[in-house]
Every structure is written in structure tokens, then in C-alpha cells.
Structure 1
């Protein structure tokens, strides 16, 4: 018996990277998983195929979370495909991509997070869990300076975390818990790659400063643990970046 047997999880931004790995881990623990993508259908279908080949259940949903249609398509798919929604992993983020509209980072990293949560909550039973994935660079942005190239994204993600935390009383009324997972810069992610492209040497410099950077697989395992961890709602799980805690009182 898996720890998530008969449960359904949505993992946003899960066609690749951290989200894809989290989706596979949760499926391995018995959950039916909704794999969300914005444009990369082949990648999402590959994740679903890997889960199914391992004996799990999954479905891919193309949904732009900055639109009302995308948000509701994502939430409704969990019910239509698997009949329940018990876990929501808010992993999707962005803002460093080229060619995006002005204000896109805030639209995705704050507004979309809240909209997805609000669409999911009416479908989630008591005892359900929401996990919000962020970075130390965002979580501590008000007290620890980050790289100028990343600051607008970091501030938008912090705004998203604050907006979600503002909903904690509403979630408590429904018996739903929210956990935040904050990680140091992760090797191999799209964000890290884009950041290193705009600021060559950024990853190497952060690795030298921190001593170690987690891989996508290592960080995904920590995110997945928080789906069932015995922690209070509002808990923040810190992954890596121990040097941050000498820089701030938080």
C-alpha cells in the first residue's frame, strides 16, 4: 500500500524539471496525478507514459494558468479523470522567459497561484494538502539581496507566497493545510539556466558560496515529502542554502 493510495494530486508545471519528478514520485506512492503543462504537450505525455509504464495513473492537461479557462480546466480534470482532488502542488513559476508581456511574472507567480488554489479548494476534502514551491532567493528577498536579473521574479514569487498565506484562515476552516517548500538555487532548472545565461557564472558562484546545490531530483524528493509530512499548516520547509540563515533574522 502506498501512502497516497486512492488520492489524486495536481502538480502544476510538471512537464519537466522539478514538477515532473514530483509527479513521478507521488504516482509511485499511489496517487493519481494530473500532469500540467502550458505548451510542451510531448514532454507532458512522456511523463504520463513513464508513470503508466511503472503501474501508476496519470493524465496530462494543457492549461495556461494565467487564464480563467486554464485554471478551471486543470481543476475539473482531476475530478473528471480520477474522481477526487486531495493534493495540490503549486510548482509552476516563471518570469525570466523572453518575449512575455509586461507584468507576466506577477500574473503567473502571484495571481495564478491564488486562482488555482481558489478553484481547487471547493473540490478538496478535509485533510487535503497544498504545497507551494519557492526559492530562498524569493522567500528571503525582502531581507537578503538577490541577483538584479532575478529580483523582479523573486519579488513576484514572494508576493505569491504572501497571497497564499493570507488564505490560511480560509483553508483552516475547510481542514486544508498549506506548506511552503523553499529551496536554494537548483542545478539544472530552466530558471537557473536562464539566470546563468543573463549573468554568466551565477550558478558557479552560488555553488561556491553555498557549498552544495541540490539537483532537480534531490529537491523534488524534498517537495514530495511535504505532501504527507506531519507539520502544521503554514510551515516552511527549507532545503539547502544554510548560509541564508546567518544573513537574516527570519
Structure 2
């Protein structure tokens, strides 16, 4: 039986209508938290995630919000407070930048600026003891020391910029008693990003799998993210390296 250690808590998981975000939302919902399932455009997918959480005995609501728009973050925060009474957990999973139709500065706008706006908006209502989890990749986390594929470099640098911007907010988070946790993973099997990278550079997934020894699936990575939620003893701005990190660390 799943421990319901998050009962009575309100959570937002950005970009949670599919993939890692959806799998994480399911796990967090099973632990008792009320979950705001965020989507940008595909309501049916988000509603399916909500249904899955509810069928497992949890509570969830789907909320449309584009994080790159001013009203997006506020809509998510208001939904958490109105639906579940509080906002105690924010998982920053949404990311992108390889989309061809979103403009040349979209990666930085989403992966840095929108992340900061989301945190600053959430901080206004999050009580002491709350947690913010930022999900990133080894390709982004180590980009200043280890080169990545040309097709992914702009995204990697924008996500590293987002991580750095969130770390700069630590003094303000400390004042409010809010914990920041960074989760960095290798290329994840079955994600849109991995598929696009493999299309841009055929063999990329196979090469990373060989270098890392194993690539996590969406479900496996979601489990690693969920394990860090409400985990005792975490230090402020702790970085959890999930899978393949030895390869990156040896190349610094």
C-alpha cells in the first residue's frame, strides 16, 4: 500500500499532461496530494491523467496554462489554492525549445524566464516546509563543462540558465522556509526530446545508452523524482544525479 504522506497537500506539476510529468503526477496523487495537472494545448490528455489519479483514489484538476504567458503561473497557483486549500509542492517539469514554430528565443523564455516567474508566483502562497523540484538533464546541468549535441545545445544552455536563476533565488527561499531540489537525468527513453534528438542526429539514443550503460524510461525517472518529494534530510539546493552521471563527471 502506498504511503499517503502528502495527504492534505496541494501540488502543481508543470507540463504534466504526458510523459515524465504525467507519470510523476500519478505517483504524487497516489500519495495523497491534490494535483494540478498542467497542460498548454491538449486538454484530452490532461483529463486522462486526472482520471487516472482519481481512479486510484486521489484528487486532481486539469488546468490550461502557458507558462510563457504572464497569466499562466497565476492561474496554476490559484487553482491549487482554490481546489486543494494550499500549495505545498511545485514540480517544475515543463521544458522545451526544439519546437520549430515557437520562435528563436522560445527555449530561454520557457526554460529560464517562465521557471523564475512560476517560482516567484508560487512563493507568495507556499508555506514554510514546502518544496520546489526543478527537473533538468545531465546535458543541461553539465553544459558548461561537457559539450552536448549541436541540435540540443541551445536548449541545454537555456535549461542551465534556468537552473542558475533558480539557485539565485535560494536566499529568498530560505527566508520563507521553502526547499529547492534539483533532479538531473540522462536522456530518457520514449520522451519527445529524445525522439527529436535522434531524428536530428541518428544514433544519438543508442550512443547515450552505450555511454551511460542504461537509459531510464519515463516511468523509472518519474519514480526517482517522486522519491525526492518530502524526503527527510535534503539540503537546500541539493542536486540529485539520476543515471549516467559518472560518464559526465569523468569528462569534466
TM-score, normalised with respect to structure 2: 0.97
Choose the corresponding residue for 1:51, options 39, 50, 53.
Answer: 53
Aligned to 1:195: 197
Output the CA distance in 2 between the equivalents of 1:29 and 1:18: 17
Instruction: Answer with 106-115 or 219-228: which moved more.
Output: 219-228
Query: Displacement, 1:232?
Result: 0.6
Matches within 5 A, 1:28-39: 28-39=30-41
What whole-Å deviation, never above 9, does each CA across 1:127-163 have from its counterpart, x for those lacking one?
0000000000000000000001000000000000000
Q: For 1:23 and 1:235, how far apart are their aligned partners in 2?
A: 21
The equivalences for 1:3-152 within 5 A come to 3-152=5-154
**What is residue 175 of structure 1 aligned with on the other side?**
177
Could you list the runs of 5+ residues in structure 1 that have no partner in the other structure?
Answer: none
Which range is displaced more, 104-113 or 196-205?
196-205
Distance (Å, rounded) in 1 between the aligned partners of 2:47 and 2:100: 25
The one-character-per-residue Cα deviations of 1:158-183 (angstroms, maximum 9, x if unpaired) are: 00000000000000000000000000
Secondary structure (helix, strand or coil) at the match of 2:63 reads strand
Q: Which residue is equivalent to 2:241?
A: 238
SS of alignment partner, residue 171 of structure 2: helix
Could you list the structure 1 runs, at least 4 aligned residues long, displaced by more than 6 angstroms after superposition.
none
Stretch moving more, 199-208 or 127-136: 199-208
* Unmatched runs of 5 consecutive residues or more in structure 2: none
- The CA deviation at 1:220 is 0.4
Q: Give the match's secondary structure for 1:123.
A: coil
Q: How far 1:69 moved relative to its partner?
A: 1.1
Aligned to 1:247: 251
Equivalent residues of 2:191, 2:218 under 8 A apart? yes
Aligned length: 248
TM-score, normalisation: structure 1: 0.98
Pairwise CA distance, 1:10: 0.3
